[in-house]
Amino acid sequence: QLLTQEIQAFNAKNADELEAFRIKFLGSKGILKSLFGDFKAVDNSLKKEIGQELNQLRQLANDTLNSQKGILESSKVKTKSNTDFTRPAEPIDIGARHPISIVKNQILDVFSRIGFTVSEGPEIEDDWHNFTALNLPEYHPARDMQDTFFIEQDPDILLRTHTSSVQVRFMENNQPPIRTISPGRVFRNEDISARAHCIFHQVEGLYIDTDVSFADLKQTLIYFTKEMFGKSRIRLRPSYFPFTEPSAEVDIYWGLQTETDYKITKGTGWLEIMGCGMVDPNVLKNVNIDPEKYSGYAFGMGIERIAMLLYQIPDIRMFYENDLRFIDQFKSVI
Ligand code: PHE
């Protein structure tokens, strides 16, 4: 009974104490071993009773050993860990939005405020949507203006050279009034330099309704440049696009305050930011919109150009190198 009490009261503070307990009671020279040794001498009439008691005692010692071992081990995990759970967590590195996305979202935002919806289309296009419907029939010399990556020939499948292809798809599926803006990636087989790349991004806009005039186009451009750049000094230079007539190129006066301004504007302070014009009646006919009833304007701009100007990026190749030292600088912009 004394032994039972001692075992029940046992409370190991560490592994050494536990081991001492095991040796004392259950070891090869331990108390239980010797008790079982003495047991042989016990009178036969008492064997049953004492045998039971001894077995119970051994069971108790074993159970105590195991349970104390468990307690020690679980407390070991706690005491071993130095973690201070009250410390503030490591900040999570959340990355930055790419400047192309930042500027694209800004452009979409400016136009959505005057009722333009966003439309998108495939990057792999057929000849009809990229060229023919846009008043560029086969063998039209203006096809050379845009050096095309062909995927298949006859019938031609290609990487779209502009997002005007999206506008064709939109006109095929919607009736005027149409006010839509089409952002996306475009591809041209051009030599890569600080100012040009074979992959870049565009946002093109299209407005078709009754009585749309060139004055509407111009006013929209002034609104856009003012919202986007905080300045609206622009000039329109007469130009040529097969899908618009008349056509113009839009330059914005940016000034020459930094070295990058010099580089980007070639020392003039002016930068060409988009092409535009009144939608050619032939284009409307191609998508079954009545040119007698409706007119419209269209414009298209390169996102990289505008981002270079806004963020003073001197080389277009920086957009695609994914150098974290470049991208991380846009962390504060949402
Ligand atoms: N699609 C032309 C380009 O990629 C831009 C443009 C769009 C010009 C709409 C006029 C009207 O260069």
Q: What is the mean pLDDT of residues 39-64?
A: 86
- Point out the ligand 1 atom lying closest to the alpha carbon of residue 297: 11
Note the pLDDT of residue 174.
94
Share of the chain above pLDDT 90, in %: 52
Residue 83 predicted with pLDDT over 80: no
Better-predicted residue by pLDDT, 237 or 44? 237
Residues with CB under 6 A from ligand 1: 162, 164, 204, 241, 244, 247, 275-277, 298-300
Residue 45 has pLDDT above 90, yes or no: no
For ligand 1, atom 10, the nearest C-alpha belongs to 276
Give pLDDT, residue 145: 64
Between 292 and 79, the more confident residue is: 292
Closest CA to 103 of 318, 324, 301, 268: 301
pLDDT digits (tens, 9 = 90+) for 178-187: 999 999 999 9
Structure tokens at 111: 């136009």
* The pLDDT value given to residue 279: 97
Task: Return the HEC string of 155-204.
Answer: CCEEECCCCHHHHHHHHHHCCCCEEEEEEEEEECCCCCCCCCCCEEEEEE
Report CA(300)–ligand 1 centroid distance (Å). Answer: 5
Predicted confidence (pLDDT) per residue in 161-173, tens digit: 999 999 999 999 9
Of 37, 12, 28, 32, give the one whose Cα is nearest residue 20: 12
Average pLDDT over residues 65-72: 84
Q: Is 245 annotated as a binding residue?
A: yes
Query: What's residue 142's pLDDT?
Result: 67
The CA 231 to ligand 1 mean position distance, Å, reads 23
Average pLDDT over residues 192-212: 94
The predicted model gives 199-227 an average pLDDT of 96
- Residue 37: what pLDDT? 84
Name the residue at shortest CA distance from atom 4 of ligand 1: 162
Compute, in angstroms, the gap from residue 161 CA to the centroid of ligand 1: 10
Atom of ligand 1 lying closest to residue 299 CA: 9
For the cut 60, the answer to whether the pLDDT of residue 79 exceeds it is: no
Pocket test for ligand 1, best of 143, 144, 158, 162 (most atoms within 8 A of CB): 162
CA 276 to ligand 1 center in whole angstroms: 6
Which atom number of ligand 1 is nearest to the Cα of residue 161?
Answer: 4
Q: Facing residues of 235 across strands?
A: 251
Q: What is the spatial distance between Cα 60 and Cα 56, in angstroms, rounded to a whole number?
A: 6
State the pLDDT at residue 332.
Answer: 81
Give residue-wise pLDDT tens across range 215-225: 999 999 999 99
pLDDT at site 214: 96
| Among 20-34, 166-180, 295-309, 316-330, the least confident range | 20-34
Task: Please give the mean pLDDT across all residues of the chain.
Answer: 89
Q: What is the pLDDT of residue 88?
A: 85
